[in-house]
Structure 1
Amino acid sequence: MDHSRKLGDVKLSQVTFRATIRDRDTAKAKDSAGTKGMPVKPQQSDTKQPTSSISLKGLLTAQRITRELKNRAALRRKTRVRAQQRKAVTIINEQVPASSANPKQKFPYAQAKELIDEFLASRLRDVTYDPDTCASLTKDLCEEAKRIVRRLTPPRYKLICNMAIGSKHREDVTVTSQCLWDSHSDNVTSCSYENRTLFCVVLVYAVYFE
């Protein structure tokens, strides 16, 4: 009986001791909070938080970006080395043969094409194809086209105008030309126009005459 009473006293004393220590700590916290006017923050433990692990997808993405940057840098280095090793190119002007003409001012075929295109559009916009009248119309348009181009043709150039007008509804027509001339001085301009009923193809040759 005495032995059990002793055990009970020890157990009771342990419980009373723990309660007393807890009450003492709580009283100290209240006293410090009242004196400073600030709430008591719980003490942080010294244990470190576990770091977040790197995902496999992010690692592969970083490796791919690094590999692309290395490839770009290597390509820039190769391009720089090739540019340094490239030899200078010397441009040699085309030599005109002694048998060819060398006019000071050549025929402006691009400007002549613009003038003829505007001329055909203004004259053939409302014209309907008629085989009886197209023969005389072609001759008149050729003369007018030569007069227009003559305004900007340099001296000592002869003009040859070739024009074809045909029906648009029956069949397709391909107009080709071939001539022998001096490529250093002679030139040609070609224009075409079509409306609902007809097509027109014009070739103007500019031949230099010495």
Structure 2
Amino acid sequence: MERKKVENTYITHPSYKDKFRPQPVKEILREVLTAKLDQAQYHADQTPVLTKAVADEVKDRLKELHLPRYKLIVQVVIGEQRGQGVRVGSRCFWDGDTDTCVSEVYRNETLFCVATAYGIYVY
């Protein structure tokens, strides 16, 4: 099988129309969390499956935005709602001009969820 040689483009920034925009991503996160978790109950043994399902759906919806040269990363944390405080943090090494992250929090009677979507521009 012959590999197709791709020439370097030296593009270091996305065009204005191809930027990772927080508002549409936040809407996607909100829609998916509400749809998937509105009727969900917390069960420790089912949470890993639910977490993966939420993350996969968010990532599929983000791909529909057709953001060329962006690496999309989705992190979802689901825990039991007992009135406790929870802090979720992340640390990344990235370009502040092109890379972005967006988070959304969802709560119902038995669980909480923090979903974060990262858009990392690949030079």
TM range (shorter): 0.7 to 0.9
For 1:147 and 1:131, how far apart are their aligned partners in 2?
25
- In the other structure, the counterpart of 1:138 is 51
Tell me which amino acid in the other structure corresponds to 1:101: T
Q: Which has the higher helix share?
A: 1
Give the counterpart of 1:175 among 60, 69, 88: 88
Q: Which runs of 5+ in 1 are unaligned?
A: 1-99
Give the paired residue count: 111
For 2:59 and 2:98, how far apart are their aligned partners in 1?
19
Within a 5 Å distance, the mapping from 1:16-165 to structure 2 comes to 101-104=12-15, 105-165=18-78
Contact 1:101 1:182 in 2 (8 A): no
Give the counterpart of 1:199 among 103, 112, 115: 112
Higher-Rg structure is 1
Tell me which amino acid in the other structure corresponds to 1:125: D
TM-score by length of 2: 0.84
Tell me which amino acid in the other structure corresponds to 2:42: Y
User: 1:153, CA displacement in angstroms?
Assistant: 4.1
Contact 2:32 2:54 in 1 (8 A): no
User: 1:182, CA displacement in angstroms?
Assistant: 0.6
Bigger relative contact order (CA 8 A; separation at least 6): 2
TM-score by length of 1: 0.51
The worse-fitting range, judged by mean Cα deviation, of 172-181 and 158-167 is 172-181
* Structure 1 counterpart SS, 2:36: helix
Q: Which runs of 5+ in 2 are unaligned?
A: 1-10
Q: Which has the higher strand share?
A: 2
Cα 1:184/1:101, change in 2 over 3 Å: farther
Cα 1:121/1:170, change in 2 over 3 Å: same
Contact 1:108 1:152 in 2 (8 A): no
Q: Which runs of 4+ in 1 moved over 6 A?
A: none
